[in-house]
Structure 1
Amino acid sequence: MIAMTGSLPNSDQVSNNLTDGQVVRNATLHILLAAMRVMSRSTGILQVETRYHRWKFLLAGGGLALAEEEGQVIPTLVRKYANKGIIFSRIPEWEQRQVNRPYCYPFVSNVFKKHPEITKDVVREIVLENFLALHLEEEFAFVWQPANDLPINLPVLPLAGLENSITNEVRQWQKFECVHHPYQLVQLVDAANLLARVGNDNFPLFAKVTTGQDRICMIADTFKQPIYRTALLLDKLAQKNIVSIMPLNERRSDIEIGASLSEPAIATKDEPKVFIVDDSPVLLQQMQRLLTTWGYQVALTDKAEEATDRILAYSPAVVFIDINMPGLNGFDLIKQIRRQRELANLALVLVTAENSMTNNFRARWASCRFLAKPRSSADTPKFREELRTLLREIAPLSTDTLV
Structure 2
Amino acid sequence: MIQQAPTQQETFAFGPQELSQKLLRLPHTETSGYWKISFDRLAHKNHHWYIGLSANQEVCYTGTQPFSCQTLLKIIKRYLPQSRREPTRSFLAGLHKTSKEQSLSTVDTIEELIQMNILDLKQLADILRSKILADFELYLSIGAGGAVFVPDESLSTQIPVPGLPIETLLKQTQQRQVQWQRVKQIVPSMNVIPILDTERLEQSELPESQRQWLKGVVRSGKTLNDISVLVAKDVLEIATAFAKFMQAGVIRLDSATQSEPGTVMIIDDSPMVLMQFQRLVTALGHPVVVNQEVEKSIPMISQVKPAIIFIDINMPGISGFELVKQIRQTPEIASIPLVILTGEQKLSNKWRAQWSGCDFLTKPLSMNEINQFQVALQEKLETVMSTASV
Q: Which has the higher helix share?
A: 2
| TM-score, with length taken from structure 1 | 0.45
Q: Which has the higher contact order (CA 8 A, sep 6+)?
A: 2
| TM-score, with length taken from structure 2 | 0.46
